[in-house]
């Protein structure tokens, strides 16, 4: 069933009908579509394009459709071209001829643009809430586990850090992600309703009325841009891609840390699965799936970028492809943020294994060099002295702090008893500007 057909003599081919319909995807815009139409009707009455009686009839009809969809009495499905046709045709069926006046001074081009903007704005706030939740989970885990662990570069043990500081690095990433989304919301906060198909309307409408009713900051400045702009979806999907990249890096670390090789953490059973053949296995599937789904979100971004890149102004049907990509990326990022928060909340930290890994990794070698510098040795010489000292420790199978002062003396005459305090791991994390390792950041 269609809203057009006057100028057609032949029926649309069935396969074309299926190819063209977007209802199976855009049915989830029913709320935004009806809210947009309610604002449009109020504006039409305000602009004397509808009588107050007609306005009331339309509003009541639209509200009854909304409540029937919400209660499950009316299913958003059937032989309709899209959500806009679905709502309008049901309206006319319910209230009669007046329903046909709803589309006065409007095109589906500005209608779909306003629906998607409203939906994206709303869902972007939900993503911000989920980010906040994850930042909170990371903070709580940090407070409860302010213990020392090896820090890495090149995935080689490098210097001692704290587990809290390591998790805090991810909090910083997710805080930036939140800011990016906030910024995207600010940029997209413009009302395209009233742009018509592409060139506005000869009716004397007032776009400020719908702008205010729908909660946008202002109407768009250019009609052609208003109906053909999908930047806000691309921008959100770029932001989602960066969130997924961050989640994927964190997942990778959780996977590594929960391996027997690291043994730094244990994932809760609730977010792990077993093997059908190897009874001993507990696999970090939730983290692996998040890492895997990152590619899917990047894919959605690139699909829409590619769809948009050759389009002349203004609306082209290619743009109907925007929703499937955006919805999939959005659902994925929301699911992954929730699962990650829960995984963080429930993971168990093995502080003893982290400490043991430090002991075995000469993670205080840089501090021995710093000690020598404090005694007057130039840093480059100190670096070379400690290099030789490490070879000695490896041969003797000893940690640096287990050497005697006599053994230290073979490498430098400047090393005295105070070396042990200087290179003690717990002392290291509070020295100099490393005081910040004691600070658990949210
Ligand atoms: N289903 C369409 C979309 O999502 C709605 C706009 C249709 N406009 C048109 N001129 N055919 O893009």
Specify which residues 152 forms β-bridges with. Answer: 157
Q: What is the pLDDT of residue 270?
A: 85
Domain extents for the chain? 14-101, 108-145+162-190+221-352, 365-423
Indicate if the pLDDT at residue 19 is higher than 80.
yes
From the candidates 154, 251, 272, 384, which is the catalytic residue?
Answer: 154
347, 254 Cβ separation under 8 angstroms: yes
Give, for ligand 1, the residue of 112, 319, 326 to mutate: max count of ligand atoms closer than 8 Å to Cβ: 112
Task: Calculate mean pLDDT across residues 364-371.
Answer: 94
Residue 435: count other Cβ atoms within 10 Å of its Cβ: 10
Indicate if the pLDDT at residue 439 is higher than 70.
no
Residue 109 Cα to ligand 1 midpoint, Å, equals: 6
- Per-residue tokens: 92: 């006319």
Ligand 1 neighbour 320 (Cβ under 6 A): yes
- Per-residue tokens: 396: 């003797």
Residues 170-216 have pLDDT tens digits of 999 999 999 999 999 999 999 999 999 999 999 999 999 999 999 99
Say which residue the tokens 């010489």 belong to. Answer: 381
Residue 264 Cα to ligand 1 midpoint, Å, equals: 52
Residue 61 Cα to ligand 1 midpoint, Å, equals: 23
Residues 203-252 have pLDDT tens digits of 999 999 999 999 999 999 999 999 999 999 999 999 999 999 999 999 99
Ligand 1 neighbour 108 (Cβ under 6 A): yes
| Domain 108-145+162-190+221-352, CATH class in plain words | mainly alpha
The domain 365-423 is classified under which CATH number: 1.20.1250.20, 2.30.42.10, 1.10.40.30, 1.10.645.10?
Answer: 1.10.40.30
Ligand 1 neighbour 112 (Cβ under 6 A): yes
Domain 14-101 has CATH 3.30.870.10: no
DSSP secondary structure, 3-21, as one string: S--TT--SPPPHHHHHHH-
Q: Which atom of ligand 1 is nearest to the CA of 323?
A: 4
Q: Which atom of ligand 1 is nearest to the CA of 84?
A: 5
Residues 394-408 have pLDDT tens digits of 999 999 999 999 999
Residues 327-349 have pLDDT tens digits of 999 999 999 999 999 999 999 99
Percentage of the chain with pLDDT > 90? 88
Ligand 1 neighbour 111 (Cβ under 6 A): no
Which residue's CA is the nearest one to ligand 1's atom 2? Answer: 320
From the candidates 125, 259, 275, 374, which is the catalytic residue?
Answer: 275
Kindly report the CA angle at 312 between 308 and 313, in degrees rounded to 5?
100
Which residue's CA is the nearest one to ligand 1's atom 12? Answer: 320
How buried is 238 (Cβ within 10 angstroms: 0-12 exposed, 13-18 middle, 19+ buried)? middle
171, 138 Cβ separation under 8 angstroms: yes
Q: Which atom of ligand 1 is nearest to the CA of 315?
A: 10
Ligand 1 neighbour 109 (Cβ under 6 A): yes
Indicate if the pLDDT at residue 4 is higher than 80.
no
DSSP secondary structure, 315-366, as one string: --GGGGGHHHHHHHHHHHHHHHHHHHHHHHHH-EE-HHHHHHHHHTTTTTHH
Which residue's CA is the nearest one to ligand 1's atom 4? Answer: 320
Q: What is the pLDDT of residue 269?
A: 83
Percentage of the chain with pLDDT > 70? 98
DSSP 67: H
Q: What is the pLDDT of residue 330?
A: 98
Q: What is the pLDDT of residue 438?
A: 65
Indicate if the pLDDT at residue 73 is higher than 80.
yes
Q: What is the pLDDT of residue 81?
A: 96
The CA distance from 86 to 10, in Å, is 22
Q: Which atom of ligand 1 is nearest to the CA of 22?
A: 1
**How far are the Cα atoms of 62, 246, 280, 282 from residue 277, in angstroms, in the given order?**
56, 33, 9, 12
- Per-residue tokens: 440: 């658990």
Contacts of residue 201, Cβ cutoff 8 Å, sequence gap at least 6: 105, 106, 194
Specify which residues 160 forms β-bridges with. Answer: 150
Residue 319 Cα to ligand 1 midpoint, Å, equals: 8
Q: What is the pLDDT of residue 280?
A: 76
Q: What is the pLDDT of residue 395?
A: 96
pLDDT band at 166 (very low <50, low <70, confident <90, very high): very high
The DSSP element (H or E) to which 155 belongs, if any, is none
141, 254 Cβ separation under 8 angstroms: no
DSSP 283: B
pLDDT band at 5 (very low <50, low <70, confident <90, very high): confident
Q: Which residue has the higher pLDDT, 361 or 141?
A: 141
Q: Give the distance from CA 52 to its chain's centroid.
A: 44
Task: Calculate mean pLDDT across residues 276-292.
Answer: 86
206, 47 Cβ separation under 8 angstroms: yes
Residue 81 Cα to ligand 1 midpoint, Å, equals: 9
275 part of the active site: yes
Indicate if the pLDDT at residue 96 is higher than 90.
yes
Ligand 1 neighbour 315 (Cβ under 6 A): yes
The CA distance from 312 to 309, in Å, is 9
154 part of the active site: yes
Residue 57 Cα to ligand 1 midpoint, Å, equals: 26
Q: What is the pLDDT of residue 422?
A: 95
Q: What is the pLDDT of residue 442?
A: 65
How buried is 132 (Cβ within 10 angstroms: 0-12 exposed, 13-18 middle, 19+ buried)? middle
Q: Which of 40, 14, 17 is nearest to 213 (CA)?
A: 40
Indicate if the pLDDT at residue 370 is higher than 90.
yes
- Mean pLDDT, all residues of the chain: 95
Indicate if the pLDDT at residue 9 is higher than 80.
no
Task: Calculate mean pLDDT across residues 85-100.
Answer: 98
Q: What is the pLDDT of residue 361?
A: 84
């Amino acid at each position: 069933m269609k809203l057009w057909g006057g100028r057609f003599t032949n029926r649309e081919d069935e396969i074309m009908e299926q190819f063209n319909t977007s209802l199976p995807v855009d049915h989830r815009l029913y709320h935004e579509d009806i809210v947009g139409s309610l604002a449009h009707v109020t504006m039409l009455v305000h602009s004397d394009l509808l009588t107050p009686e007609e306005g009331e009839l339309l509003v009541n009809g639209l509200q009854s459709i909304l409540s029937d969809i919400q209660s499950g009495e009316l299913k958003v499905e059937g032989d309709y071209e899209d959500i806009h046709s679905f709502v309008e045709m049901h309206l006319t069926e319910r209230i009669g001829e007046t329903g046909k006046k709803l589309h006065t001074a409007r095109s589906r081009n500005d209608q779909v643009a306003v629906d998607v903007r409203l939906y994206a704005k709303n869902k972007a706030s939900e993503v911000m809430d989920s980010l906040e939740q994850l930042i909170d989970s990371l903070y709580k885990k940090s407070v409860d586990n302010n213990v020392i662990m090896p820090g890495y570069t090149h995935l080689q043990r490098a210097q001692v850090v704290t587990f809290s500081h390591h998790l805090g690095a991810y909090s910083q990433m997710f805080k930036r992600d939140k800011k990016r989304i906030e910024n995207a919301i600010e940029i997209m906060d413009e009302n395209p309703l009233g742009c018509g198909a592409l060139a506005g309307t000869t009716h004397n409408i007032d776009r400020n009325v719908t702008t205010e009713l729908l909660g946008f900051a202002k109407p768009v400045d250019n009609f052609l841009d208003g109906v053909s702009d999908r930047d806000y979806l691309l921008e959100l999907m770029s932001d989602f891609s960066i969130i997924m990249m961050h989640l994927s890096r964190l997942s990778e670390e959780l996977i590594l840390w929960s391996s027997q090789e690291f043994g730094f953490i244990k994932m809760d059973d609730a977010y792990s699965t077993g093997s059908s053949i190897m009874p001993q296995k507990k696999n970090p599937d939730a983290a692996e799936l998040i890492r895997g789904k990152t590619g899917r979100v990047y894919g959605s971004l690139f699909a829409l970028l590619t769809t948009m890149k050759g389009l002349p102004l203004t609306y082209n049907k290619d743009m109907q492809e925007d929703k499937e990509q955006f919805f999939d990326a959005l659902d994925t990022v929301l699911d992954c943020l929730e699962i990650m928060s829960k995984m963080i909340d429930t993971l168990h930290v093995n502080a003893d294994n982290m400490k043991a890994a430090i002991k075995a990794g000469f993670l205080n070698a840089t501090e021995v060099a710093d000690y020598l510098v404090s005694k007057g040795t130039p840093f480059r010489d100190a670096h070379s002295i400690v290099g030789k000292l490490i070879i000695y420790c490896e041969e003797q199978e000893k940690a640096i702090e287990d050497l005697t002062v006599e053994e230290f003396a073979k490498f430098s005459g400047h090393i005295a008893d105070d070396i042990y305090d200087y290179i003690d791991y717990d002392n290291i994390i509070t020295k100099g500007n490393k005081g910040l390792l004691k600070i658990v950041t949210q």
